[in-house]
């Protein structure tokens, strides 16, 4: 826990376990999250939502609600101008404003149960609730479709009459629920399979799972008479919220100031807007602040889970274990609007392996469910679950150890990835060796216990990022970043700033600036915030160091090249070495007014070179033959971080992703009734892992430096959720001999499979 | 209907407030008393983010009505530190990086404190089951459990 010291470098915080600067606020209840903001004169907002899975909206009469005393504003589709069709990047997914405007407020049709139809702002919760009841919406209820395979049938109820499958030639004659077909790969898969001695072919299904952040969506908007907008909300990207609100409501971006509250979890689910444009629209009408907070039921019904899917995988190998050909077909639910993560799903499916002949086809399919949102490595956990299950089955057939089979085929530096480019230095092999070397891998198991392994991949992204550093007059440093800190970002950036400027860590105070205080930042997502943010901080520090050198050179009447910045000090170098005592950042800060004014730097970058992160998970399970319950006995995971800035928060990302994967594998799913309504919209029935469901999770940090980052950093946040589902399925197979291909592997499903084989009963 | 007039003790201070019948203790704490450290994650008692103690007993404040607390003593996260000194649990949560986003942290701290007051030396399993009423989606619980065990060990020796 001590900061590392060496003679050359008096301090290096990077790589140590500092206490986060925002920590005290978060353990004392002082930190302000989305719902913790309030303003004088604030109104209570409430949203009216569709009770139907699919219905045409014939009319909306808000007149009675508007007349109710205490109601200050009502908004409907009429308050949001229609948008033209235009696809724009949204995190790691794509979005279309024509769809966004329809998702935030239903237009022609309500497309899922919970779809927003109107919103009110009133002087109290009671009045707001009464007002919702007074809004008269006439629906023509339409047949709905929930399942992805049903939605693809020609006779399926059509969600969008103008949706023609993209990516097929010629253009289909009829509209359908299949928004898009995508294909990636290289080589000739038929030739590949012809060379195989063993082929495994399987079908899989997964259910939609929710990101499950504990903090519901919340937004507080205040629009003044001159049209200036102030907005406080919980989001992964306040600059994205600003852009969306400006676009949807016809506002100048410069007039919209968005402050990101502390964010109570996001995992991709807070990269889109739901309440924010409604709050702004209501406040604009009411000319008073309006606060909207979702209930948990609303979060489940009206915010994005990730896709459920049907997947086919075919993988061939020689007797010696070399993969010869690979094929997969992915059908991903997008929810009510197109834009499932099927594209990254196709690209990630076989990414961990070096395969000459590979092809993956994906379909993006709409159905009457909430529109999916990004969820941690969007798309990858689904396709890689299927592929990693098949790899395990192949290992069993070939009688090769599953880690050895992966090592034989593992992608390494120079491998041409299934999705196109050649990998630079990557750490997959290192993670396989790391788990193989643990005593976990060789500890004997008992009856009904099984062990499974699986690997995973995610790209990671960089992107537009700004961060500023200001050296204050006493030598302390103010750091401003613009990507919400969702799990230790401020600590990581402060450590990098301290190292770069050679100042003590506790003299750097990092904050997350609002959209008016710092330059444009893309959102916190894609495992990019520590990667890109630290690059921006390095750039800002570079400017400061150059400036300080210039100032010192002037003071000493030396040429600029006769001074250098070292260990937090400017000192004379070369011939002049030793002529003056080195001056510290703090010393120069004291005389800033006399040497050129305020000292600061701003990093404005479009970060490139995000290195992919690979991971391998190892899990032991025990299956109870009486109830079908699967218990996670032991969990070890290794992942490449490039360089861990703060090892504890890297481990935390690993462990958290694994736990979410455990929930995805064993319990979590959206359950719909025949009426198209969600039956488990609460934490009691949507069962996320609790502390007693999981063991300690041993997180091994592998460090294969990313050559394109000044400290070697790779993003780490998403890869951890990729391997768990297959690792657990493989472990259950190892325990029972039964290959489960449907998630979640919940007790009823496991018990049924045991019963079918006469394996159930009380454990001896 | 007229509001209820309630007097109670919150973190050692006498408070009085008016509340509607249907308002929960969590509503009162957050909206009336402006103690927003207790969080609303579900309002159905499933997430534990609103954990407080009521006369020393751990409860979800979203499942208690405001008018039920008349004459009773409530402890919230805001009362956990003493002056400038953090409670050992708070300190250990920081040292172990037992929080990522931090939304569940107040609930975990209040629940953990209630556990250690009943049992100063719980096993890992006992801690896991005691905290099974608190959801954390970020950490996988590993560092939370370690922080509680470490805090318990420190409190036993002090």
Answer yes or no: is A145 within a domain.
no
Angle at alpha carbon of residue A100, lines to A98 and A104, rounded to 5°? 130
The Cα A367–Cα A676 span in angstroms is 10
Inter-chain contact A692–B125, Cβ cutoff 8 Å?
A: yes
Residues 6+ apart with CB under 8 A from A121: A43, A44, A45, A71, A72, A73, A74, A128, A282, A283, A285, A286, A288, A290
Answer yes or no: is A453 within a domain.
no
Instruction: Look up residue A455 and give its two tokens.
Output: 């690997």
Percent of chain B with pLDDT over 70: 99
Answer yes or no: is B60 within a domain.
yes
- Does B8 lie in the same domain as B73? yes
- Residue reference for tokens 């590949």: A192
The beta-carbon neighbor of A214 closest among B86, B135, B142 is B135
Answer yes or no: is A621 within a domain.
no
Answer yes or no: is A269 within a domain.
no
- Min Cα–Cα distance to chain B from A21, Å: 10
Residues 6+ apart with CB under 8 A from A322: A408, A409
Task: Give the residue numbers spanning the domain of A518.
Answer: 463-607
The arithmetic mean of pLDDT across residues B39-47, rounded, is 98
Answer yes or no: is A536 within a domain.
yes
- Residue reference for tokens 């302390």: A476
Residue count of chain A, please give it. Answer: 764
The Cα A530–Cα A714 span in angstroms is 9
B70 in contact with chain A, both atoms CB, cutoff 8 A: no
CA distance to A91, A701, A738, B97, per residue, from A716 (Å): 16, 10, 33, 16
Q: Which H, E and C letters describe B72-128, residue by residue?
A: CEEECHHHCCECCECCHHHHHHHHCCCCCCCCCHHHHHHHHHHHHHHCCCCCHHHHH
Q: Three-class SS of residue B158?
A: coil
Nearest to B2 by CA among B22, B20, B24: B20
Instruction: Look up residue A142 and give its two tokens.
Output: 């339409």
Residues 6+ apart with CB under 8 A from A731: A450, A451, A452, A619, A620, A621
Q: What is the pLDDT of residues B85-123, one digit of tens each?
A: 999 999 999 999 999 999 999 999 999 999 999 999 999
Question: How many helices and strands (H and E) does chain A possess?
Answer: 20, 28
- DSSP H or E stretch at residue A335: strand A323-335
The Cα A481–Cα A470 span in angstroms is 12
Inter-chain contact A691–B134, Cβ cutoff 8 Å?
A: yes
Answer yes or no: is A186 within a domain.
no
Q: What are phi and psi of A597, to 5 degrees?
A: 95, -165
Inter-chain contact B103–A296, Cβ cutoff 8 Å?
A: no
- Min Cα–Cα distance to chain B from A31, Å: 8
Q: What are phi and psi of A287, to 5 degrees?
A: 55, 35
Q: Which of B17, B49, B78 is the last residue of a domain?
A: B78
Nearest to B64 by CA among B11, B108, B23: B23
The Cα B106–Cα B35 span in angstroms is 12
User: Residue A83, class by beta-carbon neighbours within 10 Å (0-12 exposed, 13-18 middle, 19+ buried)?
Assistant: middle
Q: Three-class SS of residue A162?
A: coil
Task: Kindly report the number of other CB atoms within 10 A of residue B99's CB atom.
Answer: 29
Answer yes or no: is B30 within a domain.
yes
- Does B113 lie in the same domain as B59? no
Task: Kindly report the number of other CB atoms within 10 A of residue A761's CB atom.
Answer: 10
In A19-124, where does DSSP find H-type helix? 23-27, 63-67, 97-104
Check: CB of residue B76 under 8 Å from CB of residue B11.
yes
The Cα A165–Cα B125 span in angstroms is 53
- Does B71 lie in the same domain as B10? yes
Q: What is the pLDDT of residue A2?
A: 37
In A591-711, where does DSSP find H-type helix? 592-595, 647-666
pLDDT along chain A (764 residues), means of 10: 39 94 98 98 98 98 98 98 87 85 98 98 97 98 97 98 96 97 97 98 98 98 97 98 96 97 98 97 98 98 97 98 98 97 97 98 98 97 98 98 98 95 97 98 98 97 97 97 96 98 97 97 95 98 97 94 95 88 96 96 97 97 98 98 98 98 98 98 98 98 98 97 98 98 98 96 81
Answer yes or no: is B83 within a domain.
no
A-proximal residues of B, 115-144, CB under 8 Å = 124-125, 127-129, 131-144
What is the DSSP pairing of strand A357-366 with strand A449-458? unpaired
- Does B71 lie in the same domain as B9? yes
- Min Cα–Cα distance to chain B from A1, Å: 9
- Which residues of chain A lie closer than 8 angstroms to B77, CB-CB? 28-29
The Cα A383–Cα A361 span in angstroms is 11
Answer yes or no: is B135 within a domain.
yes
Answer yes or no: is A487 within a domain.
yes
Inter-chain contact B39–A655, Cβ cutoff 8 Å?
A: no
* Farthest-apart Cα atoms in chain A, separation: 90
Q: Which of B78, B110, B134 is the last residue of a domain?
A: B78
- Min Cα–Cα distance to chain B from A708, Å: 27
- Which residues of chain B lie closer than 8 angstroms to A126, CB-CB? 20
- DSSP H or E stretch at residue A201: strand A198-206
CB pairs under 8 A between A and B: 187
- Min Cα–Cα distance to chain A from B71, Å: 24
Inter-chain contact A214–B41, Cβ cutoff 8 Å?
A: yes
How many structural domains are present in chain B?
Answer: 2
Task: Give the residue numbers spanning the domain of B114.
Answer: 88-157
CA distance to A293, A386, A480, A484, per residue, from A240 (Å): 19, 33, 18, 12
Inter-chain contact A655–B143, Cβ cutoff 8 Å?
A: yes
Inter-chain contact B39–A19, Cβ cutoff 8 Å?
A: no
Nearest to A370 by CA among A302, A321, A320: A302
Q: What is the pLDDT of residue B158?
A: 84
CATH of the domain at A509: 3.30.365.10
Instruction: Look up residue A43 and give its two tokens.
Output: 């109104």
- Which residues of chain B lie closer than 8 angstroms to A211, CB-CB? 137
- Which residues of chain B lie closer than 8 angstroms to A655, CB-CB? 139-143
Answer yes or no: is A548 within a domain.
yes
End-to-end CA distance of chain A: give it in Å, rounded. 47
DSSP 8-state secondary structure symbol assigned to residue A554: H
The beta-carbon neighbor of A32 closest among B36, B42, B95 is B36
- Does B149 lie in the same domain as B121? yes
The beta-carbon neighbor of A684 closest among B46, B49, B134 is B46
Inter-chain contact A649–B139, Cβ cutoff 8 Å?
A: no
Answer yes or no: is B107 within a domain.
yes
Inter-chain contact A691–B35, Cβ cutoff 8 Å?
A: no
- Does B93 lie in the same domain as B48? no
Q: What is the pLDDT of residue A11?
A: 66
How many structural domains are present in chain A?
Answer: 1
Check: CB of residue A619 under 8 Å from CB of residue A449.
no
Check: CB of residue B23 under 8 Å from CB of residue B65.
yes
The beta-carbon neighbor of B137 closest among A216, A648, A660 is A660
- Does B8 lie in the same domain as B74? yes
Q: Residue A472 — left, alpha, or beta (φ > 0 → left; ψ -120 to 50 → alpha)? A: beta
Q: What is the pLDDT of residue A763?
A: 78
Q: What are phi and psi of A571, to 5 degrees?
A: -140, 155
Q: Which of B78, B98, B123 is the last residue of a domain?
A: B78
pTM, full prediction: 0.97
Q: What are phi and psi of A34, to 5 degrees?
A: -50, -45
- Does B92 lie in the same domain as B146? yes
CATH of the domain at B114: 1.10.150.120
Nearest to A446 by CA among A665, A624, A221, A601: A624
Angle at alpha carbon of residue A743, lines to A444 and A50, rounded to 5°? 150
- Min Cα–Cα distance to chain A from B7, Å: 23
- Which residues of chain A lie closer than 8 angstroms to B37, CB-CB? 28-30
- Which residues of chain A lie closer than 8 angstroms to B20, CB-CB? 126
């Amino acid at each position: 826990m001590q900061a590392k010291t060496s003679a050359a470098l008096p301090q290096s915080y990077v790589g140590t376990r500092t206490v986060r600067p925002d920590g005290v606020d978060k353990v004392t209840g002082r930190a302000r999250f989305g719902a913790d903001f309030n303003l004088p004169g604030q109104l209570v907002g409430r949203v009216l939502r569709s009770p139907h899975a699919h219905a045409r909206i014939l009319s909306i009469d808000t007149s009675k609600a508007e007349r109710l005393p205490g109601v200050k504003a009502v908004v409907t589709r009429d308050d949001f101008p229609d948008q033209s069709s235009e696809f724009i990047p949204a995190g790691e997914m794509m979005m279309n404003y024509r769809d966004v405007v329809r998702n935030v407020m239903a237009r022609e049709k309500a497309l899922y149960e919970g779809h927003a139809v109107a919103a009110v702002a009133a002087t109290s919760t009671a009045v707001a609730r009464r007002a919702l009841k007074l809004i008269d919406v006439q629906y023509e209820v339409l047949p709905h479709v929930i399942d992805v395979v049903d939605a693809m049938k020609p006779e399926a109820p059509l969600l969008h009459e103008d949706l023609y499958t993209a990516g097929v030639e010629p253009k289909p004659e009829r509209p359908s629920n299949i928004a898009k077909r995508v294909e990636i790969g290289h080589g000739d898969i038929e030739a590949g399979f012809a060379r195989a001695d063993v082929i495994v072919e399987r079908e899989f299904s997964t259910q939609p799972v929710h990101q499950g952040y504990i903090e519901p969506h919340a937004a507080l908007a205040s629009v003044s008479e001159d049209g200036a907008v102030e907005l406080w909300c919980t989001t992964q990207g306040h600059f994205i919220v600003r852009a969306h609100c400006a676009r949807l409501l016809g506002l100048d971006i410069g007039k919209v100031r968005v402050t990101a509250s502390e964010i109570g979890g996001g995992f991709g689910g807070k990269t889109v807007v739901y309440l924010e444009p409604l709050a702004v629209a209501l406040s604009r009408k009411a000319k008073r602040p309006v606060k909207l907070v979702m209930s948990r039921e609303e979060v489940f019904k009206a915010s994005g889970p990730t896709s459920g899917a049907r997947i086919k995988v075919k993988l061939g190998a020689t007797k010696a274990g070399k993969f010869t050909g690979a094929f997969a077909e992915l059908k991903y639910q997008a929810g009510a609007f197109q834009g499932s993560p099927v594209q990254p799903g196709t690209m990630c499916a076989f990414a961990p392996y070096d395969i000459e002949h590979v092809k993956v086809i994906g379909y993006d399919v709409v159905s009457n469910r909430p529109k999916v949102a990004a969820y941690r490595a969007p798309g990858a956990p689904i396709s890689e679950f299927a592929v990693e299950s098949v790899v395990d089955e192949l290992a069993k057939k070939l009688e090769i150890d599953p880690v050895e089979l992966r090592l034989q085929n593992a992608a390494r530096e120079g491998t041409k990835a299934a999705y196109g480019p050649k990998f630079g230095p990557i750490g997959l092999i290192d993670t396989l060796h790391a788990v193989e070397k643990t005593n976990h891998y060789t500890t004997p198991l008992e009856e009904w216990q099984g062990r499974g392994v699986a690997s995973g991949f995610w790209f990671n992204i960089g992107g537009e990022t700004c961060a500023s550093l200001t050296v204050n007059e006493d030598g302390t440093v103010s750091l401003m970043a613009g990507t919400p800190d969702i799990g230790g970002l401020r600590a990581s950036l402060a450590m990098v700033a301290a190292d770069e400027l050679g100042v003590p860590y506790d003299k750097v105070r990092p904050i997350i600036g609002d959209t008016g205080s710092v330059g444009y930042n893309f959102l916190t997502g894609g495992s990019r915030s520590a990667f890109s943010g630290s690059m921006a901080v390095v750039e800002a520090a570079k400017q400061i160091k150059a400036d300080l050198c210039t100032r010192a050179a002037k003071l000493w009447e030396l040429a600029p090249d006769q001074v250098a910045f070292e260990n937090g000090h400017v000192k004379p170098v070369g011939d002049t070495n030793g002529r003056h005592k080195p001056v510290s950042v703090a010393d120069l800060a004291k005389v800033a007014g006399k040497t050129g004014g305020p000292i600061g730097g701003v990093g404005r970058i479009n970060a490139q070179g995000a290195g992919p992160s690979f991971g391998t998970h190892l899990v032991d399970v025990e299956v109870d033959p009486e109830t079908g319950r699967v218990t996670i006995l032991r969990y070890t995971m290794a992942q490449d971080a490039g360089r861990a800035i703060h090892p504890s928060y890297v481990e935390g990302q690993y462990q958290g992703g694994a736990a979410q994967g455990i929930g995805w594998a064993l319990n979590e799913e959206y359950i719909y009734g025949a009426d198209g309504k969600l039956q488990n919209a609460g934490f009691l029935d949507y069962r996320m892992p609790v502390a007693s469901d999981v063991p300690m999770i041993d997180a091994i940090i592998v460090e294969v430096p990313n050559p394109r980052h000044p400290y070697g950093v790779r993003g780490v946040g998403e890869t951890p959720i990729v391997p768990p589902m297959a690792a657990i399925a493989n472990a259950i197979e190892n325990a029972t001999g039964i290959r489960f291909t449907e998630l979640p592997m919940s007790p009823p499903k496991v018990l049924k499979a045991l019963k079918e084989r006469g394996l159930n009963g009380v454990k001896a | 209907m007229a509001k209820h007039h309630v007097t109670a003790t919150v973190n050692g201070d006498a408070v009085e407030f008016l509340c509607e019948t249907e308002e929960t203790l969590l509503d009162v704490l957050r909206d009336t008393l402006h103690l927003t450290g207790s969080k609303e994650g579900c309002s159905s008692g499933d997430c534990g983010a609103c954990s407080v103690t009521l006369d020393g007993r751990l409860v979800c404040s979203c499942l208690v009505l405001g008018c039920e607390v008349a004459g009773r003593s409530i402890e919230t996260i805001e009362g956990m530190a003493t002056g400038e000194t953090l409670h050992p649990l708070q300190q250990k949560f920081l040292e172990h990086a037992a929080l990522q986003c931090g939304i569940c942290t107040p609930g975990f701290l209040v629940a953990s404190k209630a556990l250690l007051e009943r049992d100063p030396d719980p096993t890992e399993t006992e801690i896991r089951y005691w905290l099974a009423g608190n959801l954390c989606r970020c950490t996988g619980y590993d560092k939370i459990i370690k922080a509680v065990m470490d805090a318990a060990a420190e409190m036993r020796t002090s």
